[in-house]
Every structure is written in C-alpha cells, then in structure tokens.
Amino acid sequence: MKILLVTVPVEAYTKSAYERDIQGKEVFSTVNRADGVLPVIPKIAIVSIIKYMEKAGYERQDIDFYDVDMLQPTDDEFTSYLMKTKPDVIGLSAVVSTCYSQVKRLSHLARAALPSTLIVMGGSLSASANVVLNRSDVDICVVGAGELAFMELLKAYGGDQLTLNSDTLRKVKGLAFLNAGKIEFTGYGAPIPGDENYYPDYDLLLSGLKDKPELLANYFRPGMGTYYVRCDPRSKRQSEIRPMMAQLWTTKGCVARCTFCQRSTKGYRVFKSESLDAHLKELRTRFNVGFVLIMDESFGSDRPYTKEIAEILHRNEMLWFCGGVRVSTVDAEYVQFLKDHGCMSLKFGVESGSKVIMDVMEKKFTPERVFESLKLLADRDMYSPLAFMVGMPGESIASVKETGKFWGRLCHMQGTHPRHGVTSIFYALPLPGTPLFVYGQQKGVIGTSVDEEEAYLINVGAVGAEKLNYPNLNGSKFLDVIWWDCLAVFEALKEFYRLARERPLPNPKTFLQAEIYEGYKIEQRRVGAIGRIRSILKDMLYSKWVFGTPLVHPVIVMLRIRVSVQFMYRKYFFKVRGMEYNLFKEWPKISQLEATAGTKPIKLSLRSIVNDKLLIAGDENYPDQVRKELSIGL
C-alpha cells in the first residue's frame, strides 16, 4: 500500500473577490518562501507522521512526501505527480483553517486523477470537518493528534475501500466521517507521549522537494535579519561564526486555553532532551546555524525541563529566542538563567491592556503581571516585541484606550518609541474550534449551515486577521470599529510622551535603543518609495511636537474623518463586488458583554458564556453533540 503525504499551503488558493476585481483576472496565491526575515517553519506534523509510520513497521519506500507548500505546483503539475505515483492513500496536512480552499482544490484534483484513492485530511482545519466532508473530496478527517489515529485508520483500511464501513471507523479514535450524509465523530485522537515526538528531519524534508532541492535553503535565514537577534550584543560575533537561523520545537501543547486559539489536543508534553543535542550538532555542522527560534506554544511551563533545554542550547553555542511564553512562568532568577545560557529574547502573549478583555480571553493574568514580566527582560537589556488584539466580545472605545495606554507604558519602560519597536496590532479572527467562533454563530454573525460556514472559511483564507475581514462580534458602532487600531496607536503615543516628560528616557544611543531604531530604518527601506513617504508623514504626525501641543486634537479628528471616508468607499465597493464575510456586512445588532463586580474571572471567560448557550442550530445531519465537540475545541 502506497501512502502519499502532502503539505497544504496556509494561504487561500484564490484571493478575495475584492483583489480579483481590482486586477481584472483570477488571482492565485503564490508566496515566495524565500521572502521574509524568518525561516520557513519545518513541516513537523508530516515528519512526526512518517517517523511514527516507520516505527509501526511501514517501509520507507511505501511512504512518499510531496511538499505542495514549498513547491507550489500548478494543477497540471500536481495531477501529473499523482498519475505517476498512484498512491492508495493521500494524507493532506491542513494546519490551520485558512487552508480550506487549498484542501478543496487539492482533494478535487486527487479525486479526478485517482477516483479510488482514499483521501484523508488532518490538522486544525478538521474542526470544520462538517464542511470539509460535505463540500470537498476528502473522505475522512483525522481530528486531534494524528499519529495514532492515522496508523489505526491505515490498519483498518488495508488498501480496500470496502473495509471502511461505519462500524469499522467507529472503532478508531480521532476520526470524523459521513455515514449516509450524517457526520459521525469518534472523539479526539490521543496524543503520543512527549518523548516520542521528533525534531525536524532535514533529509526527510528534502525528500518532499523532489527536483528542487535548492528550496531546502528556505528553512534557514541569516539571523541578523531580525530584531530579536540584532538587539543582543552577542549576536554580531555569532553572525561572523555561524550566521544562519533555524526554527524548532521542544514541547507540544499549551497549558493555557485562550478563547480565540484553536486547540485540538489536551495537555503539555516535553520532547526527549537527549535528541536535541544531536539535532543542534547537525544544525551547526551541516547548515551553519548559530541562532535558533523556538516555536513552542508554552515555552518554560516545565521549569526544570526548560533549564535543561537552555543548557543544551548553550553547550552547542547557540543564541536563541522563543515566541510563545506565558508571563506567569518567569521570575528574575529564571530570566537571568536563560540569558546566561544564550537566550536573547522571550515573547509574551500580551493581547490587551484591559483586564476585562483579558478575562474574556481567559488569559488568567493581569496587565500588571505582564508589565512586571516584561520589565524583568528590560532590566537585563532583553527586548521583547509586543502584540495586541482588538475586537473580542466586550471590546469598546474604553477598553481600546486602556490597551493603547498600556502599550505606551510598556514602550517607555522598555525605552523604545512606539513607532520604532516591534508591535503588531490585529483584529480578532474567529476560527472554527474556538469559543470565539461559537460565540459568532450564537449571535448570528457567522452562519451555521454548511454553505454559510464554507463561505466563511473561504473568506478567512483570502483576507486573514486584518480589519477588512473582521466580523463585528460585539455590537459596537461601525465607525468605532474601524477606528480601534488607530485609537490604540494614539493612546500609546500620548502615554509614552507623557511618561517621557515625567521620566526622560536614557541616552537613545545606548545599544538596545540604537539597534531597535536601526532595525526600524531597515524595515522602512523595504517598503518602497510610496511606503517611505507614508512613513515620513507618520513620523511627523507621531512626533512629540504634535502630541505635546493642542494640535493633537484637531489632527485626530481629521484622521478619523479620513479613515471613515476611506472605509465608506470600501464598503460600497465590497457591497457591489460581493464578499460574504467582511467588516462592511450588515451584522445583527448584539448587546455588549458587561462584567459584573465580584464575578469570578472564569465566569467572564468567553468559554463560560458560550457553554451557557451551546445549542446553535438544529441540523439532523450535524448532531448537536458532534457540533459542540468540534466547534468549541478542547
């Protein structure tokens, strides 16, 4: 039996109707994986599946890997490869919900080329199994951890579709399938033990690139291309010795349950630390890697293990940073230990400056705890980038102002101007498998039928987590919603300049501030002539000469009018050209969430709110219990 595993690009196959009409033709999403300052994330899910298959006794010659995400083949190229190899089973790895249109495309091509081949899909998109099974050519979805479930499915299949009746499939944990048009779900797949997880295998990844081995270089980037690296004085010498950067994981799972985050496995599992040593040696000698980005969702939650990992990284002379750390896991001694062992930066999930919104997100900490943890890094000359989200249920002008003010306070504490530091601010994006998505359906903002959910998935993939794609989840006025991100910036600047007058910043030519500003200038050179003009105007607008005078108020009013006019035009354009889900749709009127004094934080979590009213819609082919389990996640 031949098995072909296929990566699925996270970008939509076709872009939005808006972009399509602007360019006057069908626009296909092609992304140059050589672009960007960060390396491509290794396909660890497929690596793990293949390693586990080999462990279960499958011959390597019977397992094939085709990296669509990296190769980006045309329809004809993909079909030609299928016809040449004729696999009995095709496994599609759809890691996020934005993959949907690509899954639909690839499964359709596979079905047309090989009508009798079994098509299986795994990954976070399986939270939308009802849509995938009804509107694509996928036969079975693997839900939750995939290694064990996929092995059991292959064992039950044995190369004969006739053996896959509903009675057989019900015995395999972690599957969703259609039985006479009705979806059945056998529960989430069980995860493998942490020490059976694998680090990236670059020979295996190379095998997926077929006749384009040069694409393996996309898994690496010069380390000095990022703020994280340049802001550490040790990086310059390191870049002269081993300049490249790679990404890896040391744990799987997360101890948190943020209500906007897809979560399809429970628990937190640590990898085998001894295997890391061998992997780092390969990175050093084969790929000239001196910098490592750790991709863990909850790095540091197991402190003894994390210290062991830090020691191994340090022993292999790596400088490293991590993008997923909870503020509640750090203290002064711990941060100092990590820095002494090569850590350049830790990035925390800040998200908001409003305690009410943090409770809705189920963050289980406060803005003050965030400030304290970031200060631990700043006191040790470690720069931590910031990221904020607006638009959760309960968001308001007041909560956005809190977030902006908190942002300005953090920047002053870090000694960086809000314009020069690394700060992302984006709008909440409801993804299937989250309480946020269920809330949107309960309020009538997101449709509940198969066709409505499919339209939502297609639009999510085409636009992403930006303002134009935001469905109004909290009943705020349209003119307020479009102003939230701008308002956060203004509040941040106002607070930053206020604090700078009270407590002037140290010499801006100190290493950390100088490197951050230099990084800002590098970024501006990448945006082109028009982008640079806009940047100059913003620098003038955001200067202390504007924010320190009464001029700031009329300037804000004028900018708000400009934003409103711009978006009213886009509203007309979207209405004429058509997009099912976007900021301009006429959303149902819904009431704001309100926190009651004395209410326990967990009761303010969006998870508790949607659990109180879990039934969404009656559909005999989508039983309520299955909808509940898939839609809200773990």
Q: Give residue-wise pLDDT tens across range 563-606.
A: 555 555 455 545 544 556 666 666 666 666 665 545 677 778 88
Contact 241, 290 (CB under 8 A): yes
Instruction: Write the CATH number for 326.
Output: 3.80.30.20
Beta bridge partners of 322: 294, 346
Q: Which pLDDT belongs to residue 463?
A: 62
Contact 169, 184 (CB under 8 A): yes
Q: Which of 108-112, 181-185, 449-453, 478-482 has the lowest mean pLDDT?
A: 478-482
pLDDT digits (tens, 9 = 90+) for 532-557: 666 666 666 666 656 655 555 555 65
Q: Which pLDDT belongs to residue 225?
A: 87
Is 253 in a helix, a strand, or coil?
Answer: strand
Report d(CA 66, CA 53) in Å as an integer: 16
Which helix (H) or strand (E) covers residue 175, if one does? strand 175-179
Cβ neighbors of 104 (< 8 A, separation 6 or more) are 13, 135, 136, 137
Q: Which pLDDT belongs to residue 23?
A: 44
566 belongs to a structural domain:
no
501 belongs to a structural domain:
yes
371 belongs to a structural domain:
yes
The residue with greater pLDDT, 98 or 567, is 98
Q: Which pLDDT belongs to residue 203?
A: 96
Host domain of residue 354: 218-509
Closest among 486, 501, 470, 438 to 630, alpha carbons compared: 438
Most confident of the following: 8-22, 235-249, 455-469: 235-249
Q: Which long-range contacts (CB under 8 A, 24 or more apart) does 149-155 make?
A: 149/122, 149/173, 149/174, 149/175, 149/189, 149/190, 150/49, 150/53, 150/91, 150/120, 150/122, 151/52, 151/53, 151/56, 153/120, 154/1, 154/3, 154/53, 154/89
The yes-or-no verdict on residue 212 having pLDDT over 90 is yes
Closest among 161, 75, 175, 86 to 132, alpha carbons compared: 175
Q: Give 627's pLDDT tier (boundaries 50, 70, 90).
A: confident
563 belongs to a structural domain:
no
Contact 330, 371 (CB under 8 A): no
The yes-or-no verdict on residue 305 having pLDDT over 80 is yes
Q: Which pLDDT belongs to residue 417?
A: 84
Q: What are the distances in angstroms from CA 483 to CA 10, 253, 362, 473, 546?
A: 29, 35, 25, 15, 19
337 belongs to a structural domain:
yes
Report d(CA 379, CA 445) in Å as an integer: 45
Burial of 600 (0-12, 13-18, 19+ CB in 10 A): exposed
Q: What are the distances in angstroms from CA 439 to CA 558, 567, 608, 615?
A: 35, 26, 11, 11
pLDDT digits (tens, 9 = 90+) for 342-376: 999 999 988 999 999 999 999 999 999 999 999 99
Structural domains in the chain (count)? 1
Cβ neighbors of 440 (< 8 A, separation 6 or more) are 430, 446, 471, 473
304 belongs to a structural domain:
yes
Q: Which of 18-22, 176-180, 470-474, 565-569 has the lowest mean pLDDT?
A: 18-22
Closest among 628, 606, 629, 630 to 617, alpha carbons compared: 628
Q: Which pLDDT belongs to residue 21?
A: 43
Output b/e per residue, 12-43; b: 16+ Cβ within 10 A.
Answer: bbbbbbbeeeeeeeebebeeebeeebebbbbb
Q: Which pLDDT belongs to residue 184?
A: 93
Q: What are phi and psi of 225, to 5 degrees?
A: -80, -5
Closest among 39, 76, 54 to 5, alpha carbons compared: 54
Q: What are the distances in angstroms from CA 452 to CA 135, 325, 414, 495?
A: 11, 36, 45, 43
31 belongs to a structural domain:
no
Q: What are phi and psi of 268, to 5 degrees?
A: -135, 120
Report d(CA 47, CA 204) in Å as an integer: 7
Q: Which of 374-383, 413-422, 511-520 has the lowest mean pLDDT?
A: 511-520
Closest among 450, 628, 578 to 17, alpha carbons compared: 578
- What DSSP string describes 332-353? HHHHHHHHHTTEEEEEE--B-S
Cα dihedral sign, 424-429-433-437: positive
Q: Which pLDDT belongs to residue 264?
A: 77
Q: Give 490's pLDDT tier (boundaries 50, 70, 90).
A: confident
Cβ neighbors of 305 (< 8 A, separation 6 or more) are 251, 270, 273
400 belongs to a structural domain:
yes
pTM: 0.88
User: Which amino acid is it at 199?
Assistant: Y
Q: Give 20's pLDDT tier (boundaries 50, 70, 90).
A: very low
Half-sphere exposure of 457 (CA within 13 A, CB side): 32
Counting residues of the chain whose pLDDT is more than 70, the rounded percentage is: 79
Q: Which pLDDT belongs to residue 591?
A: 67
pLDDT digits (tens, 9 = 90+) for 25-39: 444 456 788 888 899
Closest among 501, 308, 273, 492 to 390, alpha carbons compared: 492
